[in-house]
Every structure is written in structure tokens, then in C-alpha cells.
Amino acid sequence: MKEDKNKKTNKRSFYFQDYDHYIINKIKNEKLIINQDRVYLLFFVFFCLIFIFATKIFFISLKNLESKNYVKNYPVFQTIRNDILDRNGDPIARNVLVYHAGIKPNLIKDKKKFLIKIKLLYPELDYLTFENNLKKNKYFYLKKNISQDERNRLWSLGEKGLLFETTQTRIYPHKNLFSHVVGQIDLDNNGISGVEKYFDKNLKNAEGKSLNLSLDINLQYLIREELLQSISDFSAKGAASVLMDAKTGEILSLISLPDYNLNKRQEIKDKNFTNKITKGVFELGSIFKTFTIALAMENGLFSPNTVIKNIPDEIKCSKYTITEHDEMPGNLSLKQILVRSSNIGTIKVARKIGESKLRTFLEDLNLLNTIDFELDEIGSPLKFSWNKCKLETVSYGHGITTTPLQAVAAYASISSGNLVSPTLVKNKSFNLEKVRIVDSKTSKQINSILREVVTNNNGTASLAEVDGYYVGGKTGTANKNINGKYTNKKLTSFISVFPTIDPKYILLVLLDEPKAAPQLVYNYRGKQISGIKRNESGWNSAYAAGKIIEKIGPILAINKNDFHDNYVVKKSD
């Protein structure tokens, strides 16, 4: 019996222990399953994070790829200012993508080593200032407006402290060439002068198109080179020129010297840099005689061959004595008065016309009021009273002021017969209604006389003759009025019309305070002469105009296919 009890006891003990073991194993298995679930969950979470980061890196890399293409093909980026183009579509002003290179000094590990690298790249840099900026540990700019190539060179240094900001800048690829026309913008992208200011809204219009000017880069360059040479030849203070289409008024070239580099963004205060063509207000002298003679023929008072007799050597007017610049015959035809540029002969014609008619004619030619033009830098002719001797002096260009641009437009109006308004915009006046200013007969007569000013042995502009281009024109020499007093300093000008048989172009050349040039060898009426010590317009401005027409004539002939065939005149003509 005892044994049986022990056996039962043993069974119970075995059963209890086995059950406990089972329970313990079961608990362990459940914990293992739970731990595995947690591992799977953590694995899933990490997998999701890795996937998210990988996706982010993928899209960032795509974005960087797009950025690289965006930099390389900058014309496709959205500019904040539209292009300015010349009449042939070549750029005069354009926005380009650039970078500002900034530095965070606290991210530069070895500043001494970094300074050496920068010295190798930029030998001209102010290193004392640069080193001080590094020590201050504040963000500063190394250089602004750098190109993509320069950015790449800096980036290759491998410095985390070098940062690059993307921006745009306005560039003027021709530097000085259009400084007095195009103007400048400020740091806030606003036009502050020239075309940039006048067309500011159009140029900032995101949906706007490029602005096509009437100017021609090639003509501008060639004329500027000749003007610079003229300043050198005649030791002049400055020079200016404007070339206009005689039919449309489109300005093909406009230059005023001295000029300045538009890319330097400098403030110009010196009055010598004033735009002499549009802003300068001058007495232009004898070029006004053309208006007087044209009006006399238009009113039927004289024909070109009408002789004005008994012209004195001098004439009294109030307290003033008016004389001729050179000795003149006592009798001159109307044509000869203009060809020889007779002061007193012109006065006699003006007195026949009368003050009222002359004044009205000058007003109709827009010579007495402020002209409408696509620049804010526009001068206004000085007001004066028509009393005492004003009729007499105005008739030959003394005591009356205007801008050279207005004078050129007036010549275009008379030579074509229709009122011409100057413009800097291509095809602006294409469909404008024509306003007759003088009869076509008067235009032909005046153009013929202007031709003789160049070709006649008594003419004042023989040096403007260029074989094959049928050049005509009128000289003007005036003493400069400074602070209300006339001085011995001269302003000379020559307005040329060519070809005079059917005028296509008007060219004005102006020289400020030119000196005599005895060192020059002139081709004067077929003879080579030198040692000339005169400094009137016929010996400088007309000479410069001839040189310019000789250079630009082939370009104009290319643009006008019929020019050579119809207007090249043989010497026998």
C-alpha cells in the first residue's frame, strides 16, 4: 500500500512538473512570437524611412539636373526685364543668370588655407578686408554677379563655407556704344535713364516682347570710331552725331562723346557727358539759313536764280553791326546766298518774308518747342522775344537755340516735303498720316542747292564730298554763349542730305570747341593741301561727315538694294 501511495504521489508530482514545464514553454513561445512581431514592425518602419529618404534624394537629384540645364540654357529662364534689340535683332541690353558668391566663416575649417586658395583665384582682391571679414565670423560676399564658369571654379575648392545665390543682372554687351540712348537701371530693376526709363513698364512686363529699336549696331560702331578720330584730329572737347531715315524719321545712329560704360553702373554728374543730340541746346549757326531760303521759295517770293542786288558788306541793326564771315560779291542769287552762306544776303531775304511767316514756319518745323521723343533727356529751346533784330539774327542762326535732333528732323521734313518726327522705335511711323510741310518743288530745289554747297567752287562744304553718294548739306559755325556772353570758343556742325536726287538719309556731325588741324592733309577739290589754320565747320565737321559717309555708305547700299543702281552719279553729271 505504501508503494501505491508513493506511486500516486510520484504521478501527481510528475504531472505537476510536466504541466509547469508546458506552461513555461508556452509563455516563452508567446514572448518569442511577440518579439518577432516587434522586429518585423521595426523592420517595416525602417524600410519605410529608407524608401522615403531614397525617394526624396531621387527627386532632389532630378531637380538639380533641371537646375544645371536651366543654367546652361539661360535664355529660357523667365527674365525680370525684356531684351532691347537693334533693328536687325542683335542684343543691345539683356538679362542673364548670374551668382553671388557668399561666405560663412564659421563653416571654413582652415581659414589660412582658404585664404591662400582665394589669393590664387583673385590676385587683385583686397586681402586685408577679406581676412578681417573671415575673423568676424559673419556672412559676407566674396564677389557678386559671377558667371557659371567662375562659380564652378569656386565650387571646385570644396569649401562648405562657400555659398552661391542665384540672381539676374542686366548686361550691355556693347559697353559705351549706346550709353546716351539706352541708359541704365537701378538695383531694384527700375529704369533710371534713357530707353530703359522711357519704356520701363514695357521692359518689366513678364508677357512683353523684346523692344526693337531703330538703331543699327554696325552703323553706330563705325560712326563712333570716326567721331573719336575727329576729336583727336581737331583736339575737340567733344563730338556728337545722329543719322536719320529722311522718310520715316527712324534714328539709325545716335552718338554723343564723351560716353561711358553702361556695365559699370556709375552715377554721371559731369555735364560733359550730357547727351548733346537730344539734351544739348545750342546755337547752330548757318544751318538755319536753309529754312529761310526754303520758305522764300515756298512763298513764291524768289526762285533759286533770283538775284538779290546791292548786298552790303555789313548792316546795322539796332546797336549791333552784322558782317559777313568772308568777302562776298555785291549781287548774289538766292541759290548763291545759301551756297556761299551769306549772312547779310539771308537777312535781306528774311525781311522780304516777314517776322510772322518766318516764326510760323519755324514752329511748324518743331524748332521752337520741346520735341516729342522716346527719351526723358530732352532739351527745350530757350525762349526769346521777337523784337529789335530777332528777325534778322534768327534768319541766319544767331540768337536762336534748338537741339541738334530738332535740326535734323527739320532738314528731313524740308528735303522730303513731309513733316518728319524722329523716333527710336523700328516701324513706328510706318502707317502714320503724312503732313505736308513744303511743296515737292521746293524740296527738289532746296536739295539741289544743298548739293551745290558741296560741289560748287564757292561752296562751304567741299570736304564732305564722297564720290558716288551725291552728298549735299549745310555748314554751321557758332560762337558759344557761356553764362550770357559770347566767347571765341566754337561749336561747328554740318547737316548732310544724301543722295540729294531723292534723299534717304540725314546725317548731322557736331564738334565741340574744335581747333585748327594744320597737320591734316585735306583732299580739297581734287588737290592735296595741308597747313590749314581755320576751324570753321567746313574744315572740320564737313570733313568728318565725309569720312563717316565713306564708311557707312556700303552698309546703307546693302540695306537699300536700289541705292547704287539709282543714285550713284557719274562725275560727268
pLDDT band at 35 (very low <50, low <70, confident <90, very high): low
Among 50, 72, 94, the domain-final residue is 72
CATH number at residue 187: 3.90.1310.10
Q: Which residue has the higher pLDDT, 218 or 50?
A: 218
Question: Is residue 184 located within the same domain as residue 331?
Answer: no
Residue spans of beta strands (DSSP E) within 24-85: 84-85
pLDDT of residue 483: 86
Distance CA 327, CA 323 (A): 10
Is 209's pLDDT higher than 70? yes
Q: Quote the mean pLDDT of the chain.
A: 87
391 assigned to some structural domain: yes
pLDDT band at 53 (very low <50, low <70, confident <90, very high): confident
Strand partners, 413: none
Range of the domain at 151: 84-212
Question: Is residue 105 located within the same domain as residue 183?
Answer: yes
User: How many CA atoms lie less than 13 Å away from 96 in the CB half-sphere?
Assistant: 16
78 assigned to some structural domain: no
pLDDT band at 559 (very low <50, low <70, confident <90, very high): low
Question: Is residue 368 located within the same domain as residue 233?
Answer: yes
Lowest model confidence (mean pLDDT) among 73-77, 185-189, 293-297: 73-77
CATH number at residue 361: 3.40.710.10
Which whole-number Å values give the CA distances from 385 to 282, 362, 368, 388, in the listed order? 17, 14, 12, 9
573 assigned to some structural domain: no
Question: Is residue 189 located within the same domain as residue 311?
Answer: no
Strand partners, 242: 254, 508
Among 179, 212, 245, the domain-final residue is 212
Straight-line distance from the first to the last Cα atom of the chain, in angstroms, rounded to the nearest whole number:
164
Question: Is residue 419 located within the same domain as residue 475?
Answer: yes
Confirm if 254 and 408 have CB atoms less than 8 A apart.
no
219 assigned to some structural domain: no
pTM of the prediction? 0.80
52 assigned to some structural domain: yes
77 assigned to some structural domain: no
Q: What's CA 238's distance to the chain center, in Å?
A: 18
Cell of 316: 546795322
Q: What is the mean pLDDT of residues 478-490?
A: 91
Question: Is residue 270 located within the same domain as residue 208?
Answer: no
Identity of the residue numbered 205: N
Q: Which residue in this structure is represented by grid cell 562659380?
A: 151
Q: What is the mean pLDDT of residues 548-569?
A: 68
Question: Is residue 207 located within the same domain as residue 232?
Answer: no
Among 188, 212, 236, the domain-final residue is 212
Identity of the highest mean pLDDT range in 117-121, 242-246, 426-430? 242-246
Question: Is residue 20 located within the same domain as residue 111?
Answer: no
384 assigned to some structural domain: yes
Question: Is residue 235 located within the same domain as residue 353?
Answer: yes
Q: Which residue has the higher pLDDT, 23 or 191?
A: 191
pLDDT band at 417 (very low <50, low <70, confident <90, very high): very high
User: What is the domain count for the chain?
Assistant: 3
Question: Is residue 306 located within the same domain as residue 419?
Answer: yes
Q: Which residue has the higher pLDDT, 268 or 164?
A: 164
Question: Is residue 204 located within the same domain as residue 228?
Answer: no
pLDDT of residue 63: 53
Confirm if 379 and 280 have CB atoms less than 8 A apart.
yes
pLDDT of residue 168: 86
Question: Is residue 91 located within the same domain as residue 238?
Answer: no
Is 526's pLDDT higher than 70? yes
pLDDT band at 80 (very low <50, low <70, confident <90, very high): confident
Distance CA 75, CA 171 (A): 13
516 assigned to some structural domain: yes
Distance CA 434, CA 469 (A): 27
